[in-house]
Amino acid sequence: MRQPASLRLDAPERRLLPDGRAEGPMPWVLAIMLFLLILAAAGGLAMTRAAAGLGEGIADRVTVQIVEADPAARERGTARALQLLAADPATRRAARVPDAEVAALVEAGLGEGALAAEVALPAMIDVDLAGGAAAVDELRARLRAAVPAARVDANGRWLAPVADLVRLLRLLAAGLMVLMLAASAAVVALAARAALNGHRGTIETLHLLGATDRQIVRLFQRRIALDAVFGGAVALAAAAAVLLLLGARLAELQSSLVSLAALRPSSWALLAALPAAGVLLATLVARATLLRALRRGP
């Protein structure tokens, strides 16, 4: 009996309709929709992160190697190449990779101890270019002319199709989200109309007793909102379980591309907010549907 005022005021209104949630599969269908919505969003977020990571990696990053057995000739070639690069307006940055790092890279590739002291390592220069593929080709031609031992590797070459794919997947995720939201809205509108039809007599009586459309809408809207909260909670729990499991599996792959796509805490917060947005959408759609249906009635 001693409930807070807000609850007490709501209670009698709630009792105008039979207890329990709306008939039919609406809460579960909504749960499925929101579940897929969260997964699509997670995919989209992962792709966005990956695209950003790739973008940094492939932005005209070029590696120049001077492959020359004779150390003196190698140093000369490297110095000449650096000179050329410095003079080139397309060069944003050019820096020699310290020999120790080159050795570590090679060792990582070949296994520890694989390097005998006398094995000649190439000299490496990291270059950031402006101007895309054409600039890379031009640089390659000029370097080859001046320093025959120079080899130019454009990292972006093999990453570009990956980046395209990631972009496509991101679009797909966004498209799926829009479809999912539209389908959710349709389900809610159908459920709202079914609820009205199921209580036509009660609604007419309430009208004749002087109830306003808004009062009647509030009854149904509350029930649909509660159903949506249920669906949203189920969806969030299921999606979190799936994403955590998937995340653990992917982490085991230890691929740099996969790690790029790992979800940040801010992404998780965004995903958790989605079901809440779904509930809000459901409530608004229900309200609009109900008001319009009632206005068309007697």
Question: Least distance (Å) from another protein to the CB of residue 231?
Answer: 24
242 phi/psi in degrees, rounded to 5: -65, -45
Residue numbers 194-213 binding another protein by CB under 8 A: 201-202, 204-212
Rounded Cα distance between 144 and 286, Å, is 69
Residue numbers 208-237 binding another protein by CB under 8 A: 208-212, 215
Question: Least distance (Å) from another protein to the CB of residue 219?
Answer: 11
Q: Which stretch binds another protein (CB under 8 A): 10-18, 41-49, 140-148, 239-247?
A: 10-18
User: Does 157 sit near another protein (CB under 8 A)?
Assistant: no
User: Does 2 sit near another protein (CB under 8 A)?
Assistant: no
Nearer to another protein, 116 or 209 (CB): 209
Rounded Cα distance between 157 and 139, Å, is 15
- The answer to whether 77 and 66 are in contact (CB under 8 A) is yes
Nearer to another protein, 90 or 288 (CB): 288
Rounded Cα distance between 178 and 142, Å, is 50
User: Does 4 sit near another protein (CB under 8 A)?
Assistant: no
Nearer to another protein, 108 or 208 (CB): 208
Q: Which stretch binds another protein (CB under 8 A): 5-13, 38-46, 51-59, 164-172?
A: 5-13
Question: Least distance (Å) from another protein to the CB of residue 13?
Answer: 7
Nearer to another protein, 111 or 298 (CB): 298
When binding is defined by CB under 8 A, the residue of 4, 6, 7, 12 that contacts another protein is 12
Rounded Cα distance between 295 and 119, Å, is 87
Q: Which stretch binds another protein (CB under 8 A): 15-23, 125-133, 176-184, 240-248?
A: 15-23
User: Does 290 sit near another protein (CB under 8 A)?
Assistant: no
Rounded Cα distance between 214 and 291, Å, is 7
93 phi/psi in degrees, rounded to 5: -160, 140
SS3 label, residue 100: helix
Nearer to another protein, 211 or 250 (CB): 211
DSSP labels for 193-237?
HHHHHHTHHHHHHHHHTT--HHHHHHHHHHHHHHHHHHHHHHHHH
User: Does 21 sit near another protein (CB under 8 A)?
Assistant: no
Residue numbers 107-146 binding another protein by CB under 8 A: none
Residue 143 has a CB neighbour count (10 Å cut-off) of 23
Nearer to another protein, 13 or 99 (CB): 13
120 phi/psi in degrees, rounded to 5: -80, 125
Three-state SS sequence of 13-48: HHCCCCCCCCCCCHHHHHHHHHHHHHHHHHHHHHHH
Binding site for another protein (CB under 8 A): 8-9, 12-13, 15-19, 201-202, 204-212, 215, 295, 298
